[in-house]
Structure 1
Amino acid sequence: MNLILWRHAEAEDYAATDLARALTTRGRKQAQHVAKWLRTRLPDDAVILASPAVRTIQTAETLSDQYRVVRELAPNASAQDVLTASGWPKGIAETVVIVGHQPTLGHVAAKLLANSDASWPLKKAGLWWIASRERHGDDQAVLLAAMTPELV
C-alpha cells in the first residue's frame, strides 16, 4: 500500500475552537500547490481521510471532493490511530492519503521508517509518501517522496 501523510496547510492562529481554525490565504495557496502535484500522481481510487478540523478538510478539498472525515484523526491522535484508519500495512485501499496534524504525522513517519517513538517535524502542507512492502517475510516501510509546498 501507499500511505501519504499530508499535514494541513497554514491556518489562522485563533478561532472559536481549535477544530474551527480555517486556512489562511497563504495556506490555501500552499494546499493548492501540493494538491496539484499530488493529483498527477494519485490513482483514481485513492482514499482520502481527513481529520474533523476545518483546516484539514479545507486542505483535503484542494485535492478532491471525495474524502472522508475520520474523527479518530483529530488533533492529538496517536500514530496507532492513523495506522488503524489507513489499514497499514495492507491498506483499506492501495493508496490512502491522511490529511492530519503534527505531531501525530511525525510520530507515524518515525515509527514506520525508523521504528522510533520520536516525532519528526513536517512543514505545514508538507507530505511524506510511504510504501509498504514485504521482504524476506518482513513488512517494511519505504520512503517514496518527501515534499513541501516550496518544492512543487
Structure 2
Amino acid sequence: MRIYLVQHAEAKPEEEDPARPLSKKGEEEAVKVAKFLAKFVRVSKILHSGKLRALQTAKILAEELLPEEVREAPGLAPLDDPLPWVEKLKGTEEDLMLVGHMPHLGKLASL
C-alpha cells in the first residue's frame, strides 16, 4: 500500500471567486505534476474533498494516472480531523491518492 497526499493546485483568491477554482497557473502546474507522476506512480483510486479546487486537481491527475475510480470522500476538508483516515487507511491494501487541503494533509502526514 502506498498513500499519496496531494494538496490541491493553486486556486484563485476567495475575493475573486468564492468557489475558489484553480487559477490558470494552478491548472498548468497540475498538468505538469500529473505528467511527471504518471512516469512513476500507479494508483487504483483518487479521492478528493469535494471542494472545487480539489476536484479539479483530482481530475487533472486522473487524466494522466488513469485510476479505476475518482470520487469525493468525506473527511478531507481543510479542518477535518485526520484520525478517521488513519483508521480507514489501516484496512486498505490499495495504492491511493488523496487530494485535499492544508492543514488537514499536514496533520494526516504527521500521524
TM superposition score category, shorter chain reference: 0.7 to 0.9
Native 8 Å contact 1:73 1:81 kept in 2:
no
Matched, 1:71 2:74: yes
**Alignment gaps of 5+ in structure 1:** 112-152
Q: Distance in 1 between matches of 2:33 and 2:9?
A: 9
Match of residue 89 from structure 1: 90
Q: Distance in 1 between matches of 2:33 and 2:11?
A: 15
Match of residue 3 from structure 1: 3
Q: CA deviation at 1:40?
A: 2.1
With structure 1 as the length reference, what TM-score do the two structures score?
0.62
Match of residue 13 from structure 1: 13
Q: Distance in 1 between matches of 2:38 and 2:85?
A: 22
With structure 2 as the length reference, what TM-score do the two structures score?
0.82
Alignment length (residue pairs): 104
Match of residue 26 from structure 2: 27
Q: 2:3 corresponds to which letter in structure 1?
A: L
Which structure 2 residues correspond to residues 39-58 of structure 1 after superposition, within 5 A? 39-43=38-42, 46-58=44-56
Question: Structure 1 vs Structure 2: percent identity of aligned residues?
Answer: 34
Q: 2:86 corresponds to which letter in structure 1?
A: L
Q: 1:100 corresponds to which letter in structure 2?
A: G
Higher strand share: 1
Q: 1:55 corresponds to which letter in structure 2?
A: R
Match of residue 117 from structure 1: none
Higher helix share: 2
**Alignment gaps of 5+ in structure 2:** 64-68
Question: RMSD across aligned C-alpha pairs, in angstroms?
Answer: 1.7
Q: Distance in 2 between matches of 1:27 and 1:81?
A: 29
Match of residue 108 from structure 1: 108
Aligned partner of residue 89 in structure 2, secondary structure: coil
Match of residue 133 from structure 1: none
Match of residue 66 from structure 2: none
Q: Distance in 2 between matches of 1:42 and 1:67?
A: 15
